[in-house]
Structure 1
Amino acid sequence: MRAGYALRGGDGCIADARHHATAFLDQAHADHHLPVPSRARDLTQLVVSELVTNALKYAPGPVLMELRINAHAVDVVVWDSDPTVPAARAADPDRIGQHGLEIVKAATESLFTEQEPVGKRITARIALSDDPAGHDTRRRTR
């Protein structure tokens, strides 16, 4: 399942992006019976917030967001018009702000950037498993 959204910026844009993500996950659960643990839901909203915020802050023009889901993961894909590939800064507990990419890297299974003919596309993958390493955490009975 996948869905795309054009985000124009302005007041409420980031909240709208989070709302789209929540509605998308709800629809995946309702229509396709995909389990979406609260951990994955929360991380998806966090990743959407951080990636859309960065795109609006650093790139002129529109921002496009695509959400994809399968039985194992949710992909959050954000395109913007700035071709500059972002890089996480070195850890600095005294730095105020500019931790978004560090947060996204820590919260996701994978993160990669593709340069496009115009701009770039960042894809963050969030595991649907409650255990991001994929281990079976269910209790076994004998």
Structure 2
Amino acid sequence: MQLSGDTSCIAAARRLAAEFLTRAGTEQHVAVAAHALGLTQLVVSELGTNARRHAPGPALMELRITDSTVEVTAQDSVPVRPTIHASDPQRIGRHGLEIVAAAAEDFYVRLEETGKRVTAHIALGDKRKLLGEES
């Protein structure tokens, strides 16, 4: 999906991510926990917001099912590695990558000639239930 235009594209990206995971469950019989769906929408929102806010031109978002995760990749036109700021409860804003790193099983940035790809893998299962916690 292409992220362009105003910030309404972020809401559309969250909606498309939910539809993608719902279809993966119903059409491909992929087990997707409700918690995983929510985390995926959060990661899509944070990566999409960063791409729209910090890079000129269009950004691309790609979702793929890989083994037991959904891979969320945001591609933009700025070939600069983003910074995850140290935790600071007094800071307002700039927590997006902290959130993504905390939500993801795996998180990495790949610089390219034309920009960068930021990728996060979100577990499709709900670890809280595996640990015996209730949602």
Into which bin does the TM-score normalised by the smaller protein fall? over 0.9
Give 3-state SS (helix, strand or coil) of 1:64's partner.
strand
In the superposition, relative to structure 1, how do residues 92 and 11 fare at CA in structure 2: closer, same or farther (>3 Å)? Answer: closer
1:137 — aligned with what? 130
> After the TM superposition, which segments of 4 or more aligned residues of structure 1 sit over 6 Å from their partners?
none
Unaligned runs of 5+ in 1: none
Q: How far apart in 2 are the matches of 1:138 and 1:118? A: 42
Shift of 1:11: 4.0
Give 3-state SS (helix, strand or coil) of 2:127's partner.
coil
Which residue type is aligned with residue 35 of structure 1? A
Unaligned runs of 5+ in 2: none
In the superposition, relative to structure 1, how do residues 34 and 57 fare at CA in structure 2: closer, same or farther (>3 Å)? Answer: same
Whether the 8 Å contact between 2:3 and 2:52 is mirrored in structure 1 is: no
8-17 vs 21-30, which deviates more?
8-17
How many percent identity over aligned positions? 51
Give 3-state SS (helix, strand or coil) of 2:46's partner.
helix
Instruction: Compute the RMSD of aligned alpha carbons.
Output: 1.7
TM-score (norm: length of structure 1): 0.88
Q: Who wins on radius of gyration, i.e. which is larger?
A: 1
How many positions carry a matched residue from both structures?
A: 132
TM-score (norm: length of structure 2): 0.92
Whether the 8 Å contact between 1:34 and 1:71 is mirrored in structure 2 is: no
Which residue type is aligned with residue 107 of structure 1? A
Q: How far apart in 2 are the matches of 1:113 and 1:71? A: 20
Q: How far apart in 1 are the matches of 2:37 and 2:81? A: 27
**Structure 1 residue corresponding to 2:36, chosen from 17, 35, 40:** 40
2:48 — aligned with what? 52
Q: How far apart in 1 are the matches of 2:37 and 2:53? A: 24
Matched, 1:67 2:63: yes
